[in-house]
Amino acid sequence: MTGYNYVLDVVYGSYGKIGELIQEVGTENLAIKYQGDWQKHTKGHGLSPHLSLDGEHSRFAAENFIRNLLPEGNGFSELIDNTGLGKSNTFGLIRAIGAETSGAMSFLGEYHTPTETNFRKVEHSEIEEKLKNRELNQLTVWDGKRRLSVAGVQDKLNLIFRDGKLGLGDGDLCSTHIAKFETDFKNIVVNELFSMKLAERVGLSVAPTEYLRIGEYPTLLVERFDRKLISVDKVGKRHIIDGCQATNLPPSYKYERNLGDNRDVAHIRDGVSFKHLFDIEAKSSDQHKQALCEWIAFNIIIGNYDAHGKNISYYYDKSGITLAPFYDLVCIEAIEAPEGREIESTFAMALGDSFDAEVGAYDIAGFIKNTGQNEGFVSLIFSKIAKKVIEVAETIEGDLISAEYNLSESEKEHITKCVTIAQARAEMLQSSCQVKDLREMAALL
């Protein structure tokens, strides 16, 4: 505590301290105050477009930014259990995990002591034991120390992948990969593996992925695009922000229908939308719009209904904002819900005014109108992605069911199901995005 404020140092990668996160005692109000040398630095920039270097930001901008750094789902529950803090205690929670958040920023207390650089090898058997006994052995606690669980609801573990070995890092070593484990949703790991490989083959920029089997647990190892192992004992960091941070919205607004799909609130659409994303002032506007259209088309094709505001990220620096590689691409249409649960088949963001799984020319025309795009441009991109998916989906299937991956029969059958869905939905999109039809539908809007 300093004076009448709680303060954390904001530390940017190897540069060092660039400012402070401040909470006024007796309030929940957060603010970012930058240091003068960082404000004058040739590479100086704010934490996001909404937390500018001049320190002039809205009351909620810092709160929104920090809340989006916290884990979700089981990771958030474990954080609450381990710290004893209230769910709304944003400052206290980021203080607890601030040494390693996503991207390049750290949030450190006054008495934080730098830890010695160390690589702690993690055996598959250790991870398997934690996965078998999740109620007793928290996935994020190792050797009595809590490890960050990155934002998201799936069970994940931040790891270093070095010289073919998985491990945990301290000091100048931090995670380079995210291990995502199969939980209640059977075959979700191989589903995401297929979806990511397919996206890469049709031309989307995606995070590299590898398939592992840790004991009986299928595992997807995803390379982090905000980290890079630059030497045996040092990891470089790059600053990123997610779609909620880029649009200055809290994580509870990651779905366009931020209050849910129930009839009494379905008309409320204040969360992240395609319009929000297209309105982001990217460094290269044309590249940004093309990449967004490719991502949207691909999500339509695979039935990735959960493509929300936290499942898209941006690099952000002095030169501006640029889309990062895509991630969390899942053919949700192919996933079977566990007993007693239901999977929504409505999209996180609307095409026009429709969140429905079936997409027609009228919906695409509404999307074009809402986002200010050109019919010919959208038609070209959507048609291109659909055509490529139809051409290469079976090739990806053949690659994945080869002996190299050693998949189970259930996993192989699931990939075939994903292929069937992707091809059928690609044909649906092809027939719905013809320029002539889009212009006819636009006249009705």
Distance CA 64, CA 50 (A): 10
Backbone φ and ψ for 173, nearest 5 degrees, come out as -105, 125
The answer to whether 193 touches 211, Cβ cutoff 8 Å, is yes
User: What Rg do the C-alpha atoms of the chain give, in angstroms?
Assistant: 22
Which residue type, as a one-letter code, is found at position 258? N
Structure tokens at 109: 């207390």
The answer to whether 138 touches 78, Cβ cutoff 8 Å, is yes
> Positive or negative CA dihedral for 115, 181, 164, 237?
negative
Structure tokens at 167: 């491990």
Distance CA 405, CA 46 (A): 43
For the chain, the first-to-last Cα distance in angstroms comes to: 57
330 closest CA partner among 291, 293, 294, 299: 299
Distance CA 248, CA 277 (A): 11
**Which string of b and e fits 196-221 if b means at least 16 CB within 10 Å?**
bbbbbbbebebbebebebbeebbbbb
- 269 CB neighbour count, 10 Å cutoff: 17
327 closest CA partner among 310, 349, 352: 310
- Indicate if 306 belongs to the active site: yes
Distance CA 54, CA 160 (A): 36
171: Cα separation from own chain's centroid: 25
The answer to whether 376 touches 438, Cβ cutoff 8 Å, is no
Backbone φ and ψ for 205, nearest 5 degrees, come out as -85, 115
Q: Which of these is catalytic: 9, 155, 242, 306?
A: 306
In DSSP terms, 231 is beta-bridged to 234
348: Cα separation from own chain's centroid: 14
Own/partner contacts of 404-410, CB < 8 Å, gap of 24 or more, are 405/211, 406/213, 407/190, 407/211, 410/186, 410/187
Active site members: 306
